[in-house]
Chains A and B, each alone.
Chain A
Amino acid sequence: MILDLHAHSEASEDSRAPLETYLKWLQRKRDLLPIDGIVLTEHRQWDPHADYRALEDQYGILILRGAEVETDYGHILLYGVTDEMTRRFDFANVRLSAQEVVSEVARMGGVAAPCHPGRPTIGLCEHYAAGKPPLEGVVAVEALNGGSRRGENERVQALIDAHGYGAFGGSDAHLVSLIGICATELDDNVRSIDALVAALKTGRFRPVDFREQVRAARGAA
């Protein structure tokens, strides 16, 4: 199955994309974007009360939730967020310790995965290049990010080769028309956040890139 593991709705302060409009878009673009589900990873926040089951049923698209936090090694996606994690970390703090986040989230049963590693300032590559010690316990990084500029995704392969990280993809959509353009193909049938966390620990997944076919379709229109 194919999931977009990194998306922002209007709950993030820099996005104007309503969740339901993402779902309508994916439903309409099914031939171009065969996305089975999305993971909302809102910036620096976690809403314990959000419940999207009605929208899931209405649109037939899986909706899971994570978070994107900011650390001294750049931005990190959290999957399998629990109340224990929100008590342990202030998600609004932009200076979290990446090593603490990775280690503690793993201990609490989740996965903390650096996103857009090739991006200046907020990506893992630059911090490693500056001489910081490699993070221990990272199981995967976002090798393909739909919001990256030219060259940023390309930097990530060397990181993966050097450290053996799993590689996944996400659109990092902040606008409706960008949802699903990069995603992750998983070998496992994931129907819950717990199943996604388990799958991310197996390494049986890979990034998938739909940008070229979306561009081609726009050009043909």
Chain B
Amino acid sequence: MSVTIDRAIVGEEFDRTTFPPVTAEQIVAYATSTGETDPRWTQPAPHMIAPPTFTLSLRGKHFMPKNMPAHLGRNGFDAGKDIEMGAAIRPGDVLTAVATVHDVYEKTGRSGSMTFIVFRTAVTNQRGESVATIDQKMMFR
């Protein structure tokens, strides 16, 4: 039997974080940590563009809503991420990430019942342009 999660949490905003301005060094550090060797991303420059998955390095203040059942997390795992890219990220950009519970659903598979929660993080820049929408699925049972 999968865990039961009240769908009333869908739509709930549980984190809103504005980060310090992006730096060229930060972009280079992210790129090199992923093994990137392309100088577009490994050589600091004022107008360089961050690699497409750069937003995954952003960490807000809360990973999930505070009112989630206490036992969650003991039998769960990361079930994957979808990222929709938007405007390019450059040094000096001020990014804001807003995290909400996007969906809760159940499914059954070979190994039994599972409950999935989809956390959506919408990342915008200082001009209000969307730079990324990240859907992270977590599976619990």
Contact = CB atoms under 8 A, between A and B. Distances in A.
Interface of A: 13-14, 43-44, 70, 74-75, 92, 94, 119-122
9 contacts: A44-B105, A44-B107, A70-B108, A75-B108, A94-B106, A94-B108, A119-B110, A121-B108, A122-B110
A92 B105 contact: yes
Contacts of A75: 108
Main secondary structure of the interface of B (DSSP, over half): strand
A94 B104 CA distance: 13
Interface of B: 105-113, 116
B61 to A, nearest CB: 28
Given A75-B108, A92-B105, A121-B109, 15 more contacts: A13-B105, A13-B107, A13-B116, A14-B107, A43-B107, A44-B107, A70-B108, A74-B108, A94-B106, A94-B107, A120-B111, A121-B108, A121-B112, A122-B108, A122-B110
A14 B110 CA distance: 14
Nearest to B114: A94
Contacts of A70: 107-108
Contacts of A13: 105, 107, 116
B110 A120 contact: yes
Contacts of A44: 105, 107
A92 B10 CA distance: 16
Contacts of A43: 107
Nearest to A14: B107
